Amino acid sequence: MNYPPSVKIVEVGPRDGLQNEKTSLDTETRVELITQLTNAGLSYIEAGSFVSPKWVPQMAGSDKVFEQLPVDAATTYAALTPNMQGLERAMQCGVKEVAVFAATSQSFSQKNINCSIAESIERFKPVAREALSAGLAVRGYISCVVGCPYEGEVDIESVAQVAQQLLAMGCYEVSLGDTIGVGTPASIETLLNRLLKDITADKLAIHAHDTYGQALANILIALQLGISTVDSSVAGLGGCPYAQGASGNVATEDLIYMLNGLGINHGVDLPKLIAAGHFISQKLNRANGSKVGIALQ
């Protein structure tokens, strides 16, 4: 079996993870988590989100978080910027990379960002254009690539269309989110085989939630098909506020353990990562969502 010689880990815990936890953390704790993740060797960390605190109170004060991060670090600290106001705030804080997101189901798009899929794409075009003109990199996310909490099974052609639109507006990469974690190795393989007909593997990433315990198996399929960028969340933080019952992203610790077993390079120090997972779990007063973190505690 052919696997990529190395894998880029996109650590989403400080953003996608924390924004879906019930407890809101202060700036100092968020910065400490990001610092520990950086020291563990993670080269790409989603550090915050420039959205309205009315809708995502856990991400309030992201500007203060970014202002305390080293601007010349080797690690990329990215931010989610769903609109022009968010982009402007991110740029004021010196953010070098931003992300936009779309869905593949109309119902989820309306529930999540209060507009249709087509409207969301049109809304993101000026954001991407402005970011690119300012020298920022833009990453794209697609939610519900396998299943939707409101509409059930998702049309693969819809995923392909949205992915092409995000790439066309300048996203260097599209992260495929199994937002409610219903994907299986078979459905992920079917999806990726379709997308890889038109899109090269280096422009795709996998973002798996572990609601049904399928995340690592789904990631393994993606690796076998040449995908070499994987999103994960320290201690399995997060979920999806618009998808009832959806548990967190796959734990970064569990992913690293699997990559170690496969002999795939990733540059992450597992003991330091486990320490970061325990740190944030204690701060949130919740159980650590990483099986590896618990086993090697």
Alpha helices in 227-296 (DSSP H): 252-262, 270-284, 291-295
Q: Are 266 and 259 in contact (CB under 8 A)?
A: yes
**3-class SS of residue 8:** strand
Rounded Cα distance between 210 and 182, Å, is: 8
Q: Are 256 and 268 in contact (CB under 8 A)?
A: yes
Q: Which residues pair with 229 in a beta bridge?
A: 8
In Å, the largest CA–CA distance within the chain is: 48
Rounded Cα distance between 163 and 38, Å, is: 30
Q: Are 239 and 18 in contact (CB under 8 A)?
A: no
Rounded Cα distance between 206 and 78, Å, is: 17
Alpha helices in 116-226 (DSSP H): 117-133, 156-168, 185-195, 215-224
Query: In which region does residue 125 sit, left (phi positive, over 0), alpha (psi from -120 to 50) or beta (all else)?
Result: alpha
Neighbours of 156 (CB within 10 A): 18
Query: In which region does residue 35 sit, left (phi positive, over 0), alpha (psi from -120 to 50) or beta (all else)?
Result: alpha
Our answer to whether residue 240 is catalytic in this structure is yes
Active site (catalytic) residues:
240
